[in-house]
Structure 1
């Protein structure tokens, strides 16, 4: 028998007398104890989101609200703010009353949906009901006040429910037929009527509750697949963590084809500004990329961190058809095609790409004809050399460009070391640009060095355009700066900036014609980033600029949540007192002998297992 303590009974009793609408409680950001307490307090709690009038949770942004509704497969269209503020029509009021009544009925939602039973009993409803995603404070403050407070100030999002299948209008049935429907529904549910609350809420809540009378199947599964599931290989220990910086993730994982399909959906989410969706797909892709076996069933993928039922269902679709419908639809979407074209311009982020589209531009010619003067210099260069920047750079050329940079550095001041970072160091055969980190054991050598090397390379005609030149690190004397917490600092300032130059590169040497006459330089223009790091933090610079995007994101999360530190490419500092933390010097305080040793010491200092660059391919 489930034990409810005295405090829970008192809280529940105090809320029972209040006339709350039907509520679905989100488990997001709730601890197990807090979740259980809230379930005990909500008198109109439902475990079927399709029954709810209010979706309650620790949600403060509309994007998160939409993500939660999508995760629970509730399709809505946003209610216009003007419509929300207008008084409800008699038809809408009647629809709301009917919805509430049906939600508290004994009809099992696994047998017949609310909408279908409602149509059978009373015919078509003139207006679809809405659902509100509401901040948790509305409920807790209502209980504290002893009355149901006005909800409008707490609404994060309100949407009108959209039918997922065509609605078939059925004429009202005689009373005896209605009774037959109810009996069959109860029989299908095992002869039990639906209780508005479960008898037990023990255990961690997921997509569904263990107390639900009928557990929905994850995906269709054959007998042979079930037998496979009983013999699945154990999940490696490194995949029991939520941090991709603790996993070996190689460039060509066993499930690469499925990852490529997911990456297409992630790109579409990026272009449309769905930041939460991008983060979710990034986490799932990183987990799948670290899994060392080829997937056999959907249940196998559901076990992995960041995946769950959604990704498992997508894998089942991929297994059945060899592709994902959503990815194909995204590729066929003409708007997304234009956004992708703009997004691939150097210097254009996804928000700028959408701005270009909203101005009515549909290709590069439109940008040149109607908006050239409004572009920044970086964007103008990005448009001018768009086709050349799309060409991949072979490893041999990456090495040639990098060796030229190092040679110029040592001509100016001997003793410079260099590490080629980015995708090249992770093992890519071709790169989109060239990234190098330069450093020198003598700290005076790196101060204001970025300006000197750019001038040298421009003089020899390797650099055709310098698009960005940052000297913030030198301007503060290259001294580590304390972290200022969440206080805002002016753009371009702060600890997380290294001296760097973003340049356009073109090899000035090319073959001449048989007659010896020169012609226009045929060599393609390349994007090159030159980063200068002080020796004391060179390991952090190499680590940050080498690793995949999700690896970097999770490294920052790991440092924050597990070590109370703040990491970026220019060093590490304590979140307790803001001071710089030196992980790169030896026990005796002697600096690392080289940049790669410094990088290894950062891993060790953070209590992370060393992952070579080729195992940081998280995407």
Structure 2
């Protein structure tokens, strides 16, 4: 049974990525807009810290007085009878009025601003354990009224000299408007300063049209978009709203670089939804009604429609700090946390890393720096196919019978790829056992692999069975189990290059490429192909769907039951016979999970 929690905004402060993801999946009323929240939940234990977090998220509040809080609480625990003589039918429609509206009018007080409560995280986790929403009294850190962003007119008279200045400016503005001319330059300057910190939001609805009339003019939302799981939607590589999605992706990337995990998840969900929307968006109303979007994304669309760009994306692109963080983030082996660490050390370019921190880098990062420019070059589909064919030929030279599927962005239909990903499998399970080391050695001797960045044999070490599941282990390292197949992440360079006229070899001018070789046993090859083909958000939602809807654990090495930990075989036929090929095995996984099969070209969620 789903508990009836208030609308909750989750603070990322002091939460690691695993904790953050688990909590987001557990909170049924989660919002990514703090202005909508009734509860702000997090690892916050002091009022001062709570106030800091609210300010950081640009939510201004005024603390609720103790007497006011007790009065509000006492009224809030009683449900008001709608047939009370204090209210006439002409005063209040009992079918549409909220309980809060009835309460305010019963006690004869003016409407008050909505409140927000900052609550300790254990309130939520202990409520889930208890199976009921617990009282917040023992967990409350701070409660405050939300202060409207629109300035409220003061009831106090202005000093005479200030009033005179205001009236003078108003008269000047009125005169300018009556002549059809723009406001005076000085007035523009003052208003510009105000709007810099509090931009005017465009109205989402025309004043002359009702919400119902607008809804009837908009295209119908497809049934598949009424789900929060992007693995249930067709998402093409080039959606109708690709230009808007590119702007949102720039903002999401900036959020990644600064460590805003909640923002990244919010933008990822919105992007995946809009990418699956089959119509060219015309109005902000279309965006606001889509799952995972809401008013924030709708306002960004309105800005994009009006100006052809989004101011936040432009500011991110021109931010010198973000430019440096992106430079570091693009180094192979460097994530956003390490990129920020490099920046905090005072480094501003690759030369700084080489000069001041080379010895502190691990081997993979050193290779990432060494071949930085080459790794940024895109790989054509023809070259992807050539590299893959070479890998398959060497695999069959070692042990005939290997089959291969090119996965990653290539299989999703991209014209150019950042790296090459291939899944190798063999119908004889003994052939895939410890094979990854043999294929790497063979390709190294042939001169194709210049460096091995990582070589994993976890699947062979556990006997090529799907990764075990023994319940939610809170001590497990975040991200463990995302992919546990045998694989080699290598640097590739074609050893054949031109010679000069004298026949002396010149330096190999072929670019270095990033190549991932994944080895899967045949019985779970469908899971491997599915996991390594799909876009990032598709994969995330697939695992979430399996957990929430099917009580299963999905991994590229196979599927396990979360009930008893047993392996769930969706890939074999009804008689237990193996799948005839890896692509058929992948289709069977979709069917076994109760999902409509989506071809690779429809899994481009980003």
TM-score normalised to structure 2 length: 0.73
Aligned residue for 2:93?
A: none
Change (3 A) 1:219 1:525: same
Aligned residue for 1:431?
A: 417
Change (3 A) 1:465 1:166: farther
Change (3 A) 1:468 1:107: same
1:273 aligned to 2:255? Answer: no
| Pairing of 1:26-41 with structure 2 (within 5 A) | 26=7
Aligned residue for 2:541?
A: 554
Aligned residue for 2:179?
A: none
| Pairing of 1:143-542 with structure 2 (within 5 A) | 154-155=140-141, 172=157, 219-221=204-206, 229-487=215-473, 488=475, 496-542=483-529
Deviations 1:47-93 (A, max 9, x none): xx99x9xx8637234699899969996258xxxxxxxxxxxxxxx99
Q: What is the Cα deviation at residue 345 of structure 1? A: 0.4
Q: In 2, Cα distance between the equivalents of 1:164 and 1:564?
A: 44
Indicate if the aligned counterparts of 1:443 and 1:534 stay in contact, CA closer than 8 A: yes
Indicate if the aligned counterparts of 2:464 and 2:521 stay in contact, CA closer than 8 A: yes
Q: In 1, Cα distance between the equivalents of 2:469 and 2:292?
A: 31
Matched residue of 2:290: which SS?
coil
Q: In 2, Cα distance between the equivalents of 1:166 and 1:325?
A: 24
Q: What is the Cα deviation at residue 484 of structure 1? A: 1.2
Matched residue of 2:450: which SS?
strand
Change (3 A) 1:282 1:136: closer
Aligned residue for 1:201?
A: none
Aligned residue for 2:41?
A: 59
Q: What is the Cα deviation at residue 483 of structure 1? A: 1.0
Q: In 2, Cα distance between the equivalents of 1:463 and 1:278?
A: 35
RMSD, aligned CA: 4.1
Q: In 2, Cα distance between the equivalents of 1:565 and 1:345?
A: 35
Q: In 1, Cα distance between the equivalents of 2:443 and 2:417?
A: 21
Gapped runs of 5+ residues in structure 1? 1-23, 37-48, 77-91, 115-129, 175-215
Residue of 569, 573, 582 corresponding to 1:582: 569
Indicate if the aligned counterparts of 1:469 and 1:501 stay in contact, CA closer than 8 A: yes
Deviations 1:113-153 (A, max 9, x none): 99xxxxxxxxxxxxxxx986223877999xx9xx996x7x6
Q: In 1, Cα distance between the equivalents of 2:573 and 2:52?
A: 47
Q: In 2, Cα distance between the equivalents of 1:491 and 1:290?
A: 29
Q: In 2, Cα distance between the equivalents of 1:249 and 1:592?
A: 27
Q: What is the Cα deviation at residue 514 of structure 1? A: 3.5
Deviations 1:269-314 (A, max 9, x none): 1111111111111111001000110011111111211011111111
Gapped runs of 5+ residues in structure 2? 11-22, 73-103, 160-200
Aligned residue for 2:118?
A: 133
Indicate if the aligned counterparts of 1:56 and 1:135 stay in contact, CA closer than 8 A: no
Aligned residue for 1:609?
A: 596
Indicate if the aligned counterparts of 2:117 and 2:140 stay in contact, CA closer than 8 A: no
Indicate if the aligned counterparts of 2:408 and 2:532 stay in contact, CA closer than 8 A: yes
Change (3 A) 1:35 1:411: closer
Range 286-295 or range 484-493, more displaced: 484-493
Change (3 A) 1:541 1:108: same
Deviations 1:2-55 (A, max 9, x none): xxxxxxxxxxxxxxxxxxxxxx9635699xxx999xxxxxxxxxxxx99x9xx8
Matched residue of 1:313: which SS?
helix
Indicate if the aligned counterparts of 2:560 and 2:566 stay in contact, CA closer than 8 A: yes
Deviations 1:459-495 (A, max 9, x none): 0110000010111111122133431111245799869
Q: In 1, Cα distance between the equivalents of 2:7 and 2:561?
A: 34
Q: In 1, Cα distance between the equivalents of 2:51 and 2:598?
A: 36
Equivalent residues, number: 495
Indicate if the aligned counterparts of 2:44 and 2:119 stay in contact, CA closer than 8 A: no
Q: What is the Cα deviation at residue 221 of structure 1? A: 2.8
Matched residue of 2:346: which SS?
coil
Indicate if the aligned counterparts of 1:472 and 1:493 stay in contact, CA closer than 8 A: no
Q: In 2, Cα distance between the equivalents of 1:378 and 1:439?
A: 27
Indicate if the aligned counterparts of 2:43 and 2:120 stay in contact, CA closer than 8 A: no
